[in-house]
Amino acid sequence: MERPFIPHLWFDSQAGEAAALYCSIFPDSKIEHIGAVRGTPSGDCETVSFQLAGQAFMAISAGPQFRFTPAVSFIVNYDPGRDPGARDALDTAWKKLADGGEVLMPLDAYPFSPRYGWVQDRFGLSWQLILSDPAGEPRPFIVPSLLFTDEVCGKAGEAAEFYRTVFEGSRVGQSVRYPAGMEPDREGTVMFTDFRLGSTWFAAMDSARAHGFAFNEAISFIVECEGQAEIDRYWERLSFDPAAEQCGWCKDRYGVSWQIAPAELQRMMRSEDHARVDRVTQAFLTMKKLDLAALRRAFDGA
């Protein structure tokens, strides 16, 4: 499978507002579709599909059950080799994202970059803005990043290897390990690594510091499948916690959330026939792993 993964963002009530802000900040970005999912345990929920610099995202306003943490952030690569105005663009984006938010690492020069900062925006979503090395191997403009803390600290490398066995078209990227003398981080654990799953690049890091947060359902990754056999295969490999299985959502052994869904579900949910959308919604609300044939029957009213 070399289709891209789609980050899915769970907001309390601000999905549309947040998507509009992000599209105003990043180049080549647009809102593609605004819809609704009715009759859920959270009531009627607004859904937004949008692109940021060509990377597809989905968002939902579904109540306060889950809140973003820096366990999942998005690295934004400003490459001066491809854009002479990269530094100015980075600084402009930083000001907009930091407005009303919280700075986690100040925008400054660091050993790994002449310009870098980590910020939670006013909605709580985390961004790492970096002036990348133009001599390095190019990476996408936006790269999801996983921070392994607390109970899963020290497992970033293991997780990266596991994910590469699950998804076709995967490969290793960079890998930097902690040296001795950087306590509390343990020598040999992952300071930074990146890897490609299908056509999507991810980054991962270990951190032994007392962060007090972990992965949760506020950010999940949609895996669009071509048929039931593909749904079954990814579900079997990724689902680790039976209590987390619901509506095509599952959690892997590290606590990262995934949505294993048929690619055609998005077409169904974008139908202008509200009765069809409502039937599909009520069908998947009763499911754990998604049953494509049952969703088709619901869509057709069969």
pTM of the model: 0.95
d(CA 159, CA 175): 13
Q: For residues 211, 213, 214 and 215, what is the CA-based torsion angle, rounded to 10 degrees?
A: -130
d(CA 178, CA 180): 7
Spatial neighbors of 203 by CB under 8 A, at least 6 apart, are 75, 143, 144, 145, 146, 192, 193, 194
Q: Are 269 and 259 in contact (CB under 8 A)?
A: no
d(CA 235, CA 225): 11
Q: Are 35 and 269 in contact (CB under 8 A)?
A: yes
Per-residue pLDDT of the chain (302 residues; tens, 9 = 90+): 567 899 999 999 999 999 999 999 999 999 999 998 998 888 899 999 999 999 999 999 999 999 999 999 999 999 999 999 999 999 999 999 999 999 999 999 999 999 999 999 999 999 999 999 988 888 999 999 999 999 999 999 999 999 999 998 899 999 999 999 999 999 999 999 999 998 899 999 999 998 999 999 999 999 999 999 999 999 999 999 999 999 999 999 999 999 999 999 999 999 999 999 999 999 999 999 999 999 999 999 97
Q: 3-state DSSP helix/strand/coil percent for the chain, to nearest 5?
A: 25, 35, 35
Residue 9 identity: L
Domain ranges across the chain: 6-15+28-67+216-300, 72-206
Q: Give CATH for domain 72-206.
A: 3.30.720.110
d(CA 125, CA 228): 33
Question: Which candidate, 156, 120, 170, places its Cα nearest to that of 4?
Answer: 170
Task: State the greatest distance between any 2 C-alpha atoms of the chain, in Å, as a whole number.
Answer: 65
d(CA 189, CA 212): 19
Measured in residues, the chain has a length of 302
d(CA 115, CA 288): 44
**Span 6-15+28-67+216-300 CATH architecture:** Roll (3.10)
